[in-house]
Amino acid sequence: MSLNKMIIDTLKHVGVPVAFQTYSGTATTYITFFEYNQFSALNADDEEQQTAHFIQVDVWSKGDYTSIVQQVKERMIAAGFRRTSEVDLFEEETKTYHKAIRFSYIC
């Protein structure tokens, strides 16, 4: 299973659209995600045995996204991801609230 499919399957029941990198629909609340870093987490006999993946999940909304953010964190952690950071942002041009949540996953 690809990591992208795993993330989509993990977040699809939050109740808002989920898309890899960009969303082109009409919903005013949605989730995007991307991998911002990847490196070898475990090597044995000169071969990579495990890879560390660093994923950013972005929640975008014109209104209060508190419950969606909580669901994202709970679902990602339940799926085996570890939350590493998060930040509240506001996109002035579109008047959109934006929560960026970063996770790591080793497989």
Q: Are strands 47-61 and 96-106 parallel, antiparallel or unpaired?
A: antiparallel
Domain CATH for 57: 3.30.2000.30
Q: Is the pLDDT of residue 79 over 90?
A: yes
Mean pLDDT score, 60-89:
98
Q: Are strands 18-20 and 96-106 parallel, antiparallel or unpaired?
A: unpaired
Count the domains in the chain.
Answer: 1
Question: pTM of the prediction?
Answer: 0.91
Domain hosting 35: range is 3-106
The residue behind tokens 């996204």 is: 65
The residue behind tokens 């475990």 is: 42
Q: pLDDT digit string (tens) for 12-21?
A: 999 999 999 9
Q: What is the pLDDT of residue 7?
A: 98
Q: Is the pLDDT of residue 71 over 90?
A: yes
End-to-end CA distance of the chain, in Å? 11
Q: What is the pLDDT of residue 1?
A: 61
